Amino acid sequence: MHHDHALWLPFTANRSFWKTPRVITGARGHYYTTDDGRQLLDGFSGLWTSGLGHCHPRIVAAVQEQVATLDYSMAFQVANDKAVALASELTTLAPDGMNHVFFTNSGSEAADTALKIALAYHRARGEGQRTRLIGRERGYHGVNFGGMSVGGIPANRKAFSAALVPGVDHLRHTHSLADMAYSHGQPGWGAHLADDLERLAALHDASNIAAVIVEPVAGSTGILVPPIGYLQRLRELCDKHGILLIFDEVITAFGRIGAPFAAERFGVVPDIITTAKGLTNGVIPMGAVIVCDGIHDALMQGPEHLVELFHGYTYSGHPVAAAAGLATLQVYREEDSFARARALEPVFEEAIHSLKGEPHIVDIRNFGLMGGIELEARPGAPGARGFEVFLKCFEAGVVIRNGGDILQFSPFLDSTPDELERIFSTVTQALRGVA
């Protein structure tokens, strides 16, 4: 295949990539096909997206039928039937009292939409001074300016720091190698870290804070699992100070941790949930913001002919994306995907922790079907060792992800023990082969 370097890849070392391009031309089930005809086992479910496997026939058929029936209709003052149905289906999966859905086209858009809804809610209630937003160190909420501002990954912020949204602060992150290394599931240490919100409430005056946004399990930064009791404490403090709690469930929703939403798994109900990725199994870009009734009702004020929220997208609730979402939710139900994922968790946990003691590893952490293996950084070259392991695994026929020196894993919801064994044996050999 001819490559003229026209494509600029996101979050990629592009100069390195074009020296040895890695090009995918097809996918089926748990495998990719490359442009040179190789079959690769996908150990990351796309990019946390495709828990049901690639090109699922039910979802493919739904998309094909929809694009031949209704390809597009605007979402301003008009609704399409598939978006109406998908919103209703999502509210049946969401926690009680979360009965309203605003569609976006990505997790990044969902994060910014949630932040705007939070600000609009407080203004509608006569508390327009509540404009401060609280994120968390090492958090990831997409790449738009709102999400990037509340996000806490330094490399994502560095080049754009002068233009980040003002009035944002961050909770400290929840990871400590000294206290948590090699935890299986939720660490027992660290619930007190949620009390950092009390510090910020005192510093900024709680009456000025609109919302706190966190990932229940922080994914992109390298699988930071919430300590036992941490999320519950955050909920208590938000209630105490009248602050909205937003869960960014772009990664954790739809079975990734063995439940429809992390809110259910952890028993903590936020005020707003953002999601994307597994909503359509990655087939069509789509995101959603699910809000509690109190927020929605507060914004449904004034003359009925006036727009209540001046926000939205050309492709909000796109009919083809919504059809993909409906088919995806149906497959989750019919294949009992969330329960199957939950049953696979101990197998995954045993497999990933079996690598303890292999070269360069300083920590292994997991929750649900999310896993991270942290490597010691090579002196003077942070991220190089993780990238080399990624390349060696790709060459050996297994796709994983590296976020710097943290190897990340997100197997399919119906992965087999043999597939997990292959993924981690391949990683083991790669680790033994890098300096």
Q: Delimit the CATH 3.90.1150.10 region(s) of the chain.
A: 14-56+336-432
pLDDT, tens digit, for every residue of 356-365?
Answer: 999 999 999 9
**Residue 404 φ/ψ region, left for φ over 0, alpha for ψ in the -120 to 50 degree band, beta for the rest:** left
- Is residue 38 scored above 80 in pLDDT? yes
Q: What is the pLDDT of residues 240-261, one digit of tens each?
A: 999 999 999 999 999 999 999 9
- pLDDT band at residue 3 under the 50/70/90 scheme: confident
Confidence label for 347 from pLDDT (cuts 50, 70 and 90): very high
| Mean per-residue pLDDT of the chain | 98
pLDDT of 2 strictly over 70 = no
* % of the chain at pLDDT higher than 70: 100
> What span, in angstroms and rounded, lies between the C-alpha atoms of 371 and 352?
7
Listed residue (100, 95, 327, 131) closest to 216, CA to CA:
95
Domain 62-334 belongs in CATH node 3.40.50.720 = no
For the chain, residues classed under CATH 3.40.640.10 are 62-334
Residue type, 152: G
Give bridge partners of residue 295 from the DSSP assignment.
none
CATH code 3.90.1150.10 for 14-56+336-432: yes
Burial state string for 217-238 with b = 16 or more CB within 10 A and e = fewer than 16: bbbbbbbbbbbebbbebbbebb
Categorize the per-residue pLDDT at 272 as very low, low, confident or very high, splitting at 50, 70 and 90: very high
How confident is the model over 94-115, as a mean pLDDT?
A: 99
If pLDDT is split at 50, 70 and 90, which confidence band does 208 have? very high
Q: What are the pLDDT digits (tens) for 150-179?
A: 999 999 999 999 899 999 999 999 999 999
338 neighbors 345 (Cβ within 8 angstroms): no
